[in-house]
């Protein structure tokens, strides 16, 4: 059986849990408390030298890290990843956008607000990340204003990747009030068959 | 003919130039001076609403952004991107690592040191990015210690993605002195057929 090294409130872990569930693939979830440094132990660094969850451990022991690479791996040959050459590149474009322009601002702000003390350094970090996070949401809003999903007008791993931290953006201090197209899209994702919520295992 | 919206000293732009050259695909390079805000004009935002180079403009006018998504698009069906399911996911794993753990630290430090004034804010930013950039180099070093290339013992787009900013890491204040495996790997990349340097057009 596949093993998923995970941390329950992580959006990056949630992406993989959500896709595995929607694909009907059974998996064993192994929780690592990142707040207790459990992803920086010698044992964990053997499965991901970069010290991060999620890690998908295949049946032969091979370990794959980086949430969006795991999504791409699992979705191959399914409806979540079309065969079309350009569509696949566009899905990757949105997944790289997510990891570069969205996650470091929205997910990191959320992490700081959810865990630990709000030090002056973190407060300054939040200030810096706020306009960058809103800029990423603006890019999404503009794209979704004329579309139902991110790529090819169907639900793909690009939507899963961007849903993960967008639907909890308020926990990072980002208000979605004026992002009408994003709100409609979030509702559309929530009604996809087999949808689970972020804390649901 | 393909058009590449580019900025010459950008490692992200260089990745695409290098692959196009090694594939023997002709392209027209369009320079945008990011220091003059030329990627934030209304015209540029039409080709990439996220306001960044590189953008690959296809013959039908379709625009693809995110350097690593462009690499994946161009490499499909070539020796730079193997067909093997797991190998492709591992290539993506390293490309997401590059955009999340490597580029924001090493490339951003390089940009700050190459352009503009070294303000107190930038100095603090450099301090913060230094250990993170070195941590990314450590992960690469450990992986390369027993391998010739990042994935499948062959030159792929994972190597191109990581070469782009690693070979100029010194311009970001990162010394490669103790990273023996990385240095050998850099030399191996430089002798691949059709290699060009970052400022070569």
Q: The complex's ipTM?
A: 0.97
Res A102 pLDDT > 90? yes
Integer-rounded Cα radius of gyration of chain B: 17
The whole-angstrom separation of Cα B139 and Cα B150 is 11
Which among A68, A136, A142 has CB closest to B96? A68
Cα A132–Cα B112–Cα B40 angle in degrees, nearest 5: 45
Lookup: tokens for B142: 């450990």
Give B97's contacts in chain A (Cβ within 8 Å): 50, 65-66
Decide if A100 and B139 are in contact by the 8 Å CB cutoff: no
Tens-place pLDDT, residues A53-87: 999 999 999 999 999 999 999 999 999 999 999 99
The pLDDT value given to residue A124: 92
The pLDDT value given to residue A201: 81
- According to DSSP, the residues that pair with A151 across neighbouring strands are A154
The pLDDT value given to residue B201: 80
Tens-place pLDDT, residues A143-173: 999 999 999 999 999 999 999 999 999 999 9
Among B139, B149, B94, residue whose Cα is nearest residue A40: B139
The pLDDT value given to residue A85: 98
C-beta neighbour count of B12 within 10 angstroms: 24
pLDDT, one tens digit for every residue, chain B (201 residues): 999 999 999 999 999 999 999 999 999 999 999 999 999 999 999 999 999 999 999 999 999 999 999 999 999 999 999 999 999 999 999 999 999 999 999 999 999 999 989 999 899 999 999 999 999 999 999 999 999 999 999 999 999 999 999 999 999 999 999 999 999 999 999 999 999 999 998
Decide if B68 and A92 are in contact by the 8 Å CB cutoff: yes
**Residue A37, CA distances (Å) to A42, B133, B157 in order:** 11, 20, 33
Decide if A88 and B72 are in contact by the 8 Å CB cutoff: yes
- According to DSSP, the residues that pair with B27 across neighbouring strands are B2
| Neighbouring C-alpha atoms within 13 Å toward the C-beta of A30 | 14
Residue B49 contacts residue A142 (beta carbons within 8 Å): yes
Task: Please state which of the ranges A117-126, A131-140, A184-193, B155-164 shows the lowest mean pLDDT.
Answer: A117-126
Decide if B96 and A92 are in contact by the 8 Å CB cutoff: no
Mean pLDDT within A24-40: 97
Decide if A50 and B101 are in contact by the 8 Å CB cutoff: yes
Q: In the 8-state DSSP scheme, what is residue B58?
A: P
Window 23-62 of B, Cβ < 8 Å to A? 49-50, 58, 62
- According to DSSP, the residues that pair with B64 across neighbouring strands are B56
Mean pLDDT of chain A: 97
Which among B50, B95, B142 has CB closest to A97? B50
At which residue do the structure tokens 């980002």 appear? A174
The whole-angstrom separation of Cα A160 and Cα B66 is 18
Give A65's contacts in chain B (Cβ within 8 Å): 93, 97
Torsion of CA B164, B99, A55, B144, to 10 degrees: 20
Domains of chain A: 2-75 (3.40.30.10), 85-190 (1.20.1050.10)
Q: Report how many Cβ contacts below 8 Å link chain A to chain B.
A: 94
Residue of B nearest to A73 (CA): B89
C-beta neighbour count of B25 within 10 angstroms: 12
Measured in angstroms, the CA of B200 and the nearest CA of chain A are apart by 26
C-beta neighbour count of B200 within 10 angstroms: 11
Lookup: tokens for B187: 């030399």
């Amino acid at each position: 059986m596949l093993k998923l090294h995970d941390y329950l409130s992580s959006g990056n872990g949630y992406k993989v849990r959500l896709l595995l569930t929607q694909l009907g693939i059974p998996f064993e979830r192994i929780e690592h408390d990142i707040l207790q440094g459990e992803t920086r132990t010698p044992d964990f660094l053997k499965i991901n030298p970069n010290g991060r969850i999620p890690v998908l451990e295949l049946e032969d022991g091979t370990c794959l890290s980086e949430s969006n690479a795991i999504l791409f791996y699992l979705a191959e040959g399914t409806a979540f990843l079309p065969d079309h050459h350009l569509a696949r590149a566009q899905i990757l474009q949105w997944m790289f956008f997510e990891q570069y322009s969205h996650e470091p601002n929205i997910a990191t702000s959320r992490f700081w607000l959810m865990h630990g003390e709000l030090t002056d350094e973190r407060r300054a970090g939040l200030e810096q990340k706020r306009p960058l996070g809103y800029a990423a949401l603006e890019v999404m809003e503009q794209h979704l204003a004329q579309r139902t999903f991110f790529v090819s007008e169907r639900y793909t791993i690009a939507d899963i990747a961007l849903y993960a931290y967008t639907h909890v953006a308020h926990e990072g201090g980002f208000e979605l009030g004026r992002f009408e197209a994003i709100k409609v899209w979030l509702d559309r994702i929530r009604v996809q068959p087999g949808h689970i919520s972020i804390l649901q295992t």
